[in-house]
């Protein structure tokens, strides 16, 4: 028999602090192995070779810097000048930025080290959160380690290492742990703990905010049904306290999104969701070395959602064991969550996501139903903890076997991650950083929508100076950016000068080596033609930094 819920709190053995330190060390060791060689060179390896990787590094650095020097304007990111609240054009990543603050400032404001330490910490925190959730439900340390490894490094997460917000999933299991504690002894204090945990998840990732509301809301109903708590005053007061506190914490942070949604700025059409929906192949897709034969067999896929063999085998065992032990509530919560999330992940065509989009306004901000697959993985991994707890209870050398299975879980999910050295910045950026603060435009100004992601190069470079930047990239592009991009692109040119004069742009940095040979020659000719309007501040063969001192008509 598996120990009933809450038994973990009475289990003898290691002290809480010592146990936590050992689990954290195990999670760190697994993280170092899975992300190798990142932990050995955290200041000199990045995912900056990808558009989303550059965006994430810039985003985390912006938040880590601005929450310290100007917290009231953290949403007024230095992109898409002169627009404001531009951080809300995509995930704000406040959670990752908060986590990065110590590293960013102690390292001398190194954006790469701050980002990479945050990435490593995110994996360890998820490992810890999952461990303690399963530990609470099973009182089995070994099984909890196996489940923690299976969820912390689930292939979906490892496929999204350039997307810092998608790595910040630790408060999914932590919130579920807080819910189970509340359900077992409903008090306002435990309600407050649940509210804080849910708010923390919302601050870390908007998608996961929706997921944890979905998971906890479903669990609240299941527990009320299985334990006949419909009229239990203490239970509903604790749930109300959790909801109220989470809303109070999160509401100010999501006000910019609400304002944008009210004017239709961030609403995603349902048709867009179809493009980012999972299919059956997604649940067989993984980039892990061990899953290469499976990957070759399916040919193509929409998203990486295979939860891993350790999770699947353990999940099936756990489902059967929990049912046999009469733990129907656990089956209903985690089996039900996995089934509903699986259904939602298939997008509008499957029906459930279409209903959610119609009746839950926040779904208008989402566009990737496939990400519900992470909830499927969570449900399976928790049930896997139940299954492995039963298996280990029948084995004499359970600590040894649990250690082996944990290593197997980590090894199964190991994947090659393309880390590269950070880009080398032109000395022009050091010059710019020492100038009076004023708006800057960087050229080439990519005016074709398909090339918009290349503006992330300038955003990443702006971590060296933090000047307001006309350039920008996000999930949403303001109308004036789209309109003016074609006018700015031929700079120096009268149409470009007109736009820049209206916005009070003072500096222009021209990267001649980015242009093709023909266009470079044309730009160099115009730089000579309009030299009276441009005061050189830095000049080398490939890069020119100017102060705009005139605006030719």
The secondary structure of 293-328, three-state, reads: HHHHHHCCCCCCCCCCHHHHHHHHHHHHHHHHCCCH
Final residue in a domain of this structure, among 389, 413, 437: 413
**Gap between the Cα atoms of 381 and 173, Å rounded:** 10
Chain centroid, CA 36 distance in Å = 20
**Gap between the Cα atoms of 301 and 159, Å rounded:** 13
- Residue 14 — very low, low, confident or very high, per pLDDT cuts 50/70/90? low
In this structure, is residue 359 part of a structural domain? yes
Instruction: Report the 10 Å Cβ neighbour count for 280.
Output: 12
**pTM, whole model, 2 decimals?**
0.94
User: Quick check: 458 and 439 in contact, CB under 8 A?
Assistant: no
Q: How far is CA 516 from CA 19, 340, 523, in A?
A: 59, 51, 10
To the nearest 5 percent, what fractions of the chain are helix, strand and coil?
A: 65, 5, 30
User: What's the number of domains the chain is made of?
Assistant: 2
- pLDDT (tens digit per residue) in 461-489: 999 999 999 999 999 999 999 999 999 99
**Gap between the Cα atoms of 339 and 349, Å rounded:** 16
Of residues 227 and 274, which shows the higher confidence score? Answer: 227
Q: Are 91 and 190 in a shared domain?
A: yes
Q: What pLDDT is stored for residue 354 in this prediction? A: 93
Q: What pLDDT is stored for residue 50 in this prediction? A: 95
Report the alpha-carbon angle 143-149-154, nearest 5. 130
- The three-class DSSP label of residue 46 is strand
**Gap between the Cα atoms of 131 and 127, Å rounded:** 6
Q: Are 48 and 183 in a shared domain?
A: yes
Using the predicted structure, report yes or no on whether residue 201 has a pLDDT greater than 60. Answer: yes
Closest CA to 370 of 278, 235, 251: 278
Pseudo-torsion of CA 372, 375, 379, 380, nearest 10°? 70
Q: Are 541 and 476 in a shared domain?
A: yes
In this structure, is residue 1 part of a structural domain? no
Q: What pLDDT is stored for residue 172 in this prediction? A: 98
Q: Are 56 and 161 in a shared domain?
A: yes
**Gap between the Cα atoms of 456 and 56, Å rounded:** 10
Q: What pLDDT is stored for residue 7 in this prediction? A: 45
- pLDDT (tens digit per residue) in 259-310: 787 666 667 788 888 889 999 999 999 999 999 999 889 988 889 999 999 9
Mean pLDDT along residues 540-548? 97
User: Quick check: 101 and 489 in contact, CB under 8 A?
Assistant: no
User: Quick check: 217 and 246 in contact, CB under 8 A?
Assistant: no
In this structure, is residue 421 part of a structural domain? no
Cα R_g (the chain), whole angstroms: 26
Q: Are 394 and 432 in a shared domain?
A: no
Using the predicted structure, report yes or no on whether residue 2 has a pLDDT greater than 60. Answer: no
The CA-based diameter of the chain, rounded to the nearest angstrom, is: 85
Phi, psi of 358 (to 5 degrees): -75, -40
Q: Are 343 and 304 in a shared domain?
A: yes
Q: Are 101 and 40 in a shared domain?
A: yes
Mean pLDDT along residues 54-67? 98
Q: Are 442 and 307 in a shared domain?
A: no
- Residue 1 — very low, low, confident or very high, per pLDDT cuts 50/70/90? very low
Roughly what angle, to the nearest 10 degrees, separates helices 206-226 and 188-204? 150
- The three-class DSSP label of residue 442 is strand
Domain encompassing residue 452: 428-548
In this structure, is residue 450 part of a structural domain? yes
In this structure, is residue 116 part of a structural domain? yes
Final residue in a domain of this structure, among 353, 385, 413: 413
The CA-to-CA distance between both ends of the chain, in Å, stands at 83
Using the predicted structure, report yes or no on whether residue 239 has a pLDDT greater than 80. Answer: yes
Mean pLDDT along residues 383-395? 96
Q: In what order do the strands lie in the sheet with 534-539?
A: 440-443, 507-511, 543-548, 534-539
**Of the candidate ranges 232-236, 272-276, 342-346, 529-533, the one whose mean pLDDT is the lowest:** 272-276
Q: What percent of the chain has pLDDT over 90?
A: 89
Instruction: Report the 10 Å Cβ neighbour count for 553.
Output: 6
**Gap between the Cα atoms of 87 and 421, Å rounded:** 26
Q: Are 356 and 477 in a shared domain?
A: no
Using the predicted structure, report yes or no on whether residue 108 has a pLDDT greater than 50. Answer: yes
Own/partner contacts of 48-54, CB < 8 Å, gap of 24 or more, are 48/112, 48/420, 48/422, 48/423, 48/460, 49/418, 49/420, 50/162, 51/453, 51/454, 51/456, 51/473, 52/162, 52/163, 53/162, 54/456, 54/457, 54/459, 54/460
* Helix H or strand E segment including 207: helix 206-226
In this structure, is residue 553 part of a structural domain? no
Q: What percent of the chain has pLDDT over 70?
A: 96
Q: Are 258 and 310 in a shared domain?
A: yes
Final residue in a domain of this structure, among 356, 381, 413: 413
Using the predicted structure, report yes or no on whether residue 3 has a pLDDT greater than 60. Answer: no
> Which residues lie below 8 Å from residue 459, measured CB to CB, with a gap of 6+?
54, 55, 58, 79, 469, 471, 472, 473
List the structure tokens of 553: 């008509």
Alpha helix ranges (H) inside 448-548: 456-461, 479-488, 494-503, 517-529
Instruction: Write down the residue that tokens 């500096």 correspond to.
Output: 507
- Residue 553 — very low, low, confident or very high, per pLDDT cuts 50/70/90? confident
Mean pLDDT along residues 343-358? 94
**Gap between the Cα atoms of 230 and 224, Å rounded:** 6
Mean pLDDT along residues 191-216? 97
- pLDDT (tens digit per residue) in 143-164: 999 999 999 999 999 999 999 9
- Residue 11 — very low, low, confident or very high, per pLDDT cuts 50/70/90? very low
Q: What pLDDT is stored for residue 470 in this prediction? A: 98
Q: Are 154 and 251 in a shared domain?
A: yes
List the structure tokens of 159: 């496929």
Q: What pLDDT is stored for residue 263 in this prediction? A: 67
List the structure tokens of 531: 């030299």
List the structure tokens of 439: 């708006």
Instruction: Write down the residue that tokens 């965006």 correspond to.
Output: 55
Q: What pLDDT is stored for residue 488 in this prediction? A: 97
Positive/negative CA dihedral, 128, 129, 130, 132? positive
- The three-class DSSP label of residue 492 is coil
Using the predicted structure, report yes or no on whether residue 257 has a pLDDT greater than 90. Answer: no
Of residues 41 and 13, which shows the higher confidence score? Answer: 41
Q: How far is CA 377 from CA 130, 180, 186, 220, 312, in A?
A: 12, 19, 28, 20, 9
Q: Are 382 and 456 in a shared domain?
A: no
- Residue 365 — very low, low, confident or very high, per pLDDT cuts 50/70/90? confident
Using the predicted structure, report yes or no on whether residue 9 has a pLDDT greater than 70. Answer: no
User: Quick check: 507 and 545 in contact, CB under 8 A?
Assistant: yes
């Amino acid at each position: 028999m598996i120990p009933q819920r809450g038994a973990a709190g009475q289990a003898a053995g290691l002290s809480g602090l010592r146990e936590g330190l050992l689990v954290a060390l195990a999670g760190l060791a697994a993280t170092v192995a899975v992300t190798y060689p990142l932990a050995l060179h955290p200041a000199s390896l990045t995912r900056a070779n990808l558009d989303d990787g550059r965006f994430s590094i810039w985003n985390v650095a912006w938040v880590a810097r601005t929450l310290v020097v100007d917290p009231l304007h953290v949403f007024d990111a230095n992109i898409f000048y002169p627009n404001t609240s531009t951080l809300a054009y995509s995930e704000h990543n406040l959670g990752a930025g908060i986590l990065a603050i110590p590293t960013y400032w102690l390292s001398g404001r190194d954006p790469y080290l701050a980002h990479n330490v945050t990435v490593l910490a995110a994996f360890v925190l998820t490992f810890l959160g999952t461990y303690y959730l399963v530990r609470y439900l099973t009182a089995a340390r070994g099984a909890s380690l196996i489940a923690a490894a299976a969820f912390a490094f689930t292939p979906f997460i490892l496929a999204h290492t350039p997307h810092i917000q998608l790595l910040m999933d630790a408060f999914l299991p932590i919130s579920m742990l807080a819910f189970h504690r509340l359900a077992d002894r409903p008090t306002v204090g435990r309600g407050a703990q649940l509210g804080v945990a849910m708010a923390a998840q919302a601050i870390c990732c908007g998608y996961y905010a929706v997921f944890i509301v979905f998971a906890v809301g479903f669990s609240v109903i299941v527990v009320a049904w299985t334990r006949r708590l419909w009229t239990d005053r203490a239970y509903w007061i604790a749930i109300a306290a959790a909801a109220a506190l989470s809303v109070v914490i999160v509401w100010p942070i999501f006000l910019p999104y609400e304002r944008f949604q009210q004017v239709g700025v961030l609403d995603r059409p349902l048709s867009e969701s179809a493009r980012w929906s999972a299919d059956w192949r997604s649940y067989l897709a993984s980039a892990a070395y061990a899953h290469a034969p499976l990957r070759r067999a399916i040919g193509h896929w929409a998203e990486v959602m295979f939860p891993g063999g350790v999770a699947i085998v353990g999940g099936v065992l756990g489902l059967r064991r929990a049912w046999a032990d009469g733990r129907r509530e656990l089956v209903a919560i985690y089996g039900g969550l996995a089934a509903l999330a699986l259904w939602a992940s298939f997008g509008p065509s499957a029906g459930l996501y279409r209903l959610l989009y119609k009746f839950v306004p926040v779904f208008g901000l989402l566009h990737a139903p496939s990400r519900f697959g992470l909830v499927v993985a969570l449900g399976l991994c928790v049930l896997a903890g139940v299954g492995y707890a039963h298996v280990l209870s029948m084995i004499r050398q359970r600590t040894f076997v649990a250690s082996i299975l944990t290593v197997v879980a980590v090894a199964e999910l190991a994947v090659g991650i393309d880390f590269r050295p950070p880009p080398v910045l032109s000395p022009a950026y050091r010059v710019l950083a020492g100038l009076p603060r004023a708006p800057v435009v960087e050229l080439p100004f990519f005016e074709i929508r398909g090339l918009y992601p290349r503006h992330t190069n300038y955003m990443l470079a702006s971590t060296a100076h933090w000047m307001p930047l006309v350039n920008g990239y996000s999930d949403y592009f303001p109308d004036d950016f789209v309109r003016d991009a074609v006018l700015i692109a031929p700079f120096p040119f009268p149409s470009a000068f007109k736009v820049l004069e209206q916005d009070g742009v003072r500096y222009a940095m021209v990267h001649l080596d980015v242009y093709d040979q023909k266009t470079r020659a044309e730009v160099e000719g115009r730089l000579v033609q309009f030299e009276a309007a441009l005061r050189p501040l830095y000049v080398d063969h490939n890069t020119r930094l100017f102060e705009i001192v005139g605006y030719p008509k």
